[in-house]
Structure 1
Amino acid sequence: MKNYFLTLLIGIICLISCKENTETTKFQSKTNPKALKLDTLYSELYDKGNFNGSVLVAENGNVIFEKSYGIADEQTNRKLNDSTIFELASVSKQFTAMGIVQLVKEGKLSYEDDITKYIPELNDYKEITIKNLLNHTGGLPDYMELADKNWDKSKIATNDDILKLFNQVKPKKLFEPNEKWDYSNTGYLILATIIERVSGQKFGQYLHEKIFKPLDMKNTFVYRRRFQPKEIQNYANGYIYSDSLQKKILPDEMGKDFYVVFLDGIVGDGMVNSNPKDLLKWDRALYGNNLINDQDRNLIFSSTMTKDSSQTDYGFGWMIDSTKTYGKIASHSGGWAGYISYIERNLDNDKTIIILQNNSLSSTEIPIKNTRRILYNQEVEKPIKLDNEILKSYAGKYLTDTQKEKEIAFENDKLYVVMSADYKMELVPVSKTKFIVDGWSPEVSYTFILNDNGKVEKYRVIQEAQGINKTANRIK
């Protein structure tokens, strides 16, 4: 990467390389050379078809880079801009958590309250507290799997519908409260329902009154486009890829029985919509005292421990990392209905990264790690290229020590760890057998171990900063 001030020619080349008909630029390259490096990073991804979205990067609350790449509406060819609104998917959870925090501050509930106090439909799941739901230690099973098996998919399910399903089917708990950590969309669905029942307001109304309006977040709201459709100006449509049609499509084109469609009435684990400008307002407010005080801040941005003293690395709606290089980082990602979202707050150094995309394709990339490296004046890492036959040899099913089946998938010349039906993490090769999870902090590596015949026997996953060193044996 070359500094912008070296020659005017470099700046001209950069401007030419940006496709003027599909990009909006708002960054201060004259005053901050990091902006040019960030633009180069994202422009290269955009040119390769690996990025379609908006980016905002700030230091000490000052925007150093803000830019949109690509299309908001494939049918009309409407372009994204710096005010375009995206669905946030699981980044919504931090707002649900803040709604609970506000109710606690008002004295209307306690973090230690049993959830059955507010949700009698869940009387079979006693001793789970509100705090368990906030930090994913409740042990409740996944509502999406429950709905997939038991819901009439000709209808759009709501929170109350899912709670009725739990009451009728009574699926077994995954574990006892605070025994383990397991990421739970179910928990945040329940938290949203608790907010509604305690406040007497709809979830979206409560968040608007307590968070969005006070912070002047005029382009942030709860929106379920299929359950309660309405006209929204400057909205980005979310796109997925259809293998059969060989093109990008809206999730709705998959039919009513596609999970994104029949679960569109659910709030709490998702369904907040916003843009980068509003999310920066949110970021700044979390440093101040209008919404929360220092005691609240410590709860929200601190990892909790399970019964065996294991750290969860999760606060209230935020993943929590402590790194030697970057200090304490609070972040969250999201993926749903063609949208991919990410927000990161470097708490010790006051740096903010906001990335919103409206293409969820196998080729889509989220260059979190290199964005962070540029912010800290480090060289951008370039991955090595491995032959596809080598990558394919690693793809398959693996069984962990806890008897969980994991999948390593090969798609579009890349290797991925499959986390769920709509979310997978790219594995970036750094040697013939070792890969780094793209954008993850603290760094996570996967090393494939071969037997004497050169066949893949297992993989080892290591996250040194968190003391994780585990293996999974190949089963097929």
Structure 2
Amino acid sequence: MIVSVRNMAAGAVFSVLLCGTAFAADNGELAAAIDKVAQDAIAAGESPGLQVAVYKDGAPVLVKGYGSADLELNAPVNNDSVFRIGSVTKQFTAVALLKLEEEGKLSLDDKLSKYYPDFPRAADVTLKQMLHHTSGIHSYTDDPSFPEEAPLKRTTDEWVAHFAKMPKTQDFEPGTGWYYSNTAYFILGGVIEKVEGKSLATVLQDRFFGPLGMKHTALDDEGAIVPGRAAGYDAAGPNQFRNAAFISMTIPGAAGAMRSSASDLARWNVALFGGKLLKPASFKAMIAPGKLSNGQNSGTVMPKMEGFGPFEYGYALFIADVDGHQRIGHGGGIFGFSSSLNEFPKDRLTVSVIANGIGKGVGAGKVADRIERVALGLQPKE
């Protein structure tokens, strides 16, 4: 790994952040503006609680918790609170696969059949297509059985065998379309386990969480006692909170089972975008738009989303433009929680927001969007 004076300085800054107190650098006015956005979101009932971590030019602007981590116990959110982060998990899965490719242990051009020969169409699908969501593998979260099966606890291979028997396993011919597939990323976690001969939780801890000092981060286990664990809430609208439905963390797996904190996720982005995790060629591949079999970018067939301009998808990272500012990142949503982790590399800006609420008008996404616009000096959206 590349270690520079700049990266060492960043590590020293993070040691200050993780003490559990809010910290603002010289950007006092910016910190105050971001703080107001977060406080207004809590006052408007957009989530019971929030964690916010914003960095500019390698220095922290604001790292702070807001609102309630547990509405029944009236426990406040602080910087040591722990939240589930949903699909932000996927980029950790992608980086683990890229590391294994760098070490010669696998190739992203491998067919899925090398690891799961019995999965439908496995001989026609590559790991790279699975990372890009161009494999056509049907997402189990779209299967009618998903909500009823969410409490079930199974091993990785048991879930993969179950997904192989879904009524629908393929949405389109591999390489001809784009559709977000949690199944694909779940199975990629199984590939990592087979290559490493260890659980995914152990692989991620040994390769990333431990070395980077991400003390609040792990592949979650609902049975574990986790100091500072925030309760999650589903919502029909602002201030309309209910305790989230139960889900076994064996079902999201490599697609979305991680728990973390905003400061830990910012630490991850500093390492990832600072060149400490991947070789330059691997990182370049990770943030490059996916390709279809005909050579076109996958963005040409990606669905249009209201309120969003054109975007591309690399390896577990969306690549988009925000009023002339490149944004690279991902959001996450899982029962009771939502998250957003975005990097603006040309602006040297990181914005991490996690909420213990999800639903209509509730969650991390819109709050993060408002914070990003403030930090970039852009006018608010209408």
Match in the other structure for 1:320: 319
What is the TM-score with the length of structure 1 in the denominator?
A: 0.68
How many angstroms does 1:281 deviate by? Answer: 1.2
Pairing 1:275–2:275 present: no
Amino acid at match of 1:235: R
Higher relative contact order (CA 8 A, sep 6+): 2
Cα 1:242–1:304, aligned 2, differ >3 Å: closer, same or farther?
Answer: closer
Pairing 1:100–2:93 present: no
Match of 2:187 among 185, 190, 196: 190
Instruction: Indicate if the aligned counterparts of 2:139 and 2:180 stay in contact, CA closer than 8 A.
Output: no
Amino acid at match of 1:195: I
Hey, what's the Cα distance between the residues in 1 that align with 2:38 and 2:275?
35
Pairing 1:126–2:123 present: yes
Instruction: Indicate if the aligned counterparts of 2:151 and 2:247 stay in contact, CA closer than 8 A.
Output: no
How many angstroms does 1:294 deviate by? Answer: 0.9
How many angstroms does 1:300 deviate by? Answer: 0.8
Cα 1:53–1:163, aligned 2, differ >3 Å: closer, same or farther?
Answer: same
Pairing 1:207–2:214 present: no
Work out the number of aligned pairs and report it: 346
How many angstroms does 1:318 deviate by? Answer: 0.5
Cα 1:242–1:170, aligned 2, differ >3 Å: closer, same or farther?
Answer: closer
Pairing 1:261–2:247 present: yes
Alignment deviations for residues 253-288 of structure 1 (CA, whole Å, 9 cap, x no partner): xxxxxxx52675440101111111211111111133
Instruction: Indicate if the aligned counterparts of 1:224 and 1:265 stay in contact, CA closer than 8 A.
Output: no
Pairing 1:41–2:34 present: no
Cα 1:210–1:268, aligned 2, differ >3 Å: closer, same or farther?
Answer: same
Alignment deviations for residues 339-392 of structure 1 (CA, whole Å, 9 cap, x no partner): 0100000011210000000011434152233222211223334x4xxxxxxxxx
After TM superposition, the structure 1 stretch with the greater mean CA deviation from structure 2, 35-44 or 105-114, is: 35-44
Hey, what's the Cα distance between the residues in 2 that align with 1:59 and 1:262?
37
Match of 1:332 among 327, 330, 333: 330
Alignment deviations for residues 300-351 of structure 1 (CA, whole Å, 9 cap, x no partner): 111122234144311111101245621x221101111110100000011210
Instruction: Indicate if the aligned counterparts of 1:124 and 1:170 stay in contact, CA closer than 8 A.
Output: no
Hey, what's the Cα distance between the residues in 1 that align with 2:147 and 2:227?
36
Hey, what's the Cα distance between the residues in 2 that align with 1:235 and 1:302?
35
RMSD: 2.4
Alignment deviations for residues 93-124 of structure 1 (CA, whole Å, 9 cap, x no partner): 00011111111111110010001100123154
Q: Secondary structure at the match of 2:175?
A: coil
Instruction: Indicate if the aligned counterparts of 1:215 and 1:281 stay in contact, CA closer than 8 A.
Output: yes
Hey, what's the Cα distance between the residues in 2 that align with 1:324 and 1:79?
35
Hey, what's the Cα distance between the residues in 2 that align with 1:30 and 1:152?
50
Pairing 1:219–2:216 present: yes
List alignment gaps of at least 5 residues for structure 2. Answer: 1-19, 300-311
Match in the other structure for 1:346: 344
Instruction: Indicate if the aligned counterparts of 1:157 and 1:263 stay in contact, CA closer than 8 A.
Output: no
Match in the other structure for 2:168: 171
Hey, what's the Cα distance between the residues in 2 that align with 1:45 and 1:154?
31
Structure with the higher strand share, 1 or 2: 1
Instruction: Indicate if the aligned counterparts of 2:83 and 2:355 stay in contact, CA closer than 8 A.
Output: yes
How many angstroms does 1:150 deviate by? Answer: 11
Structure with the higher helix share, 1 or 2: 2
Match of 2:244 among 251, 254, 257: 251
Match of 2:59 among 57, 62, 76: 62
Cα 1:48–1:147, aligned 2, differ >3 Å: closer, same or farther?
Answer: closer
After TM superposition, the structure 1 stretch with the greater mean CA deviation from structure 2, 30-39 or 354-363, is: 30-39
Amino acid at match of 1:374: V
Q: Secondary structure at the match of 1:232?
A: coil
Cα 1:362–1:133, aligned 2, differ >3 Å: closer, same or farther?
Answer: same
Instruction: Indicate if the aligned counterparts of 2:140 and 2:146 stay in contact, CA closer than 8 A.
Output: no
How many angstroms does 1:289 deviate by? Answer: 3.6
Instruction: Indicate if the aligned counterparts of 2:89 and 2:254 stay in contact, CA closer than 8 A.
Output: yes
Pairing 1:235–2:229 present: yes
Instruction: Indicate if the aligned counterparts of 2:55 and 2:62 stay in contact, CA closer than 8 A.
Output: yes
Hey, what's the Cα distance between the residues in 2 that align with 1:87 and 1:28?
25
Hey, what's the Cα distance between the residues in 2 that align with 1:68 and 1:192?
31
Match in the other structure for 1:375: 375
Instruction: Indicate if the aligned counterparts of 2:235 and 2:362 stay in contact, CA closer than 8 A.
Output: no
List alignment gaps of at least 5 residues for structure 1. Answer: 1-23, 253-259, 384-476
Hey, what's the Cα distance between the residues in 1 that align with 2:170 and 2:126?
14
Match in the other structure for 1:77: 74
Amino acid at match of 2:178: W
Q: Secondary structure at the match of 1:57?
A: strand
How many angstroms does 1:250 deviate by? Answer: 2.4
How many angstroms does 1:163 deviate by? Answer: 1.8
What is the TM-score with the length of structure 2 in the denominator?
A: 0.84
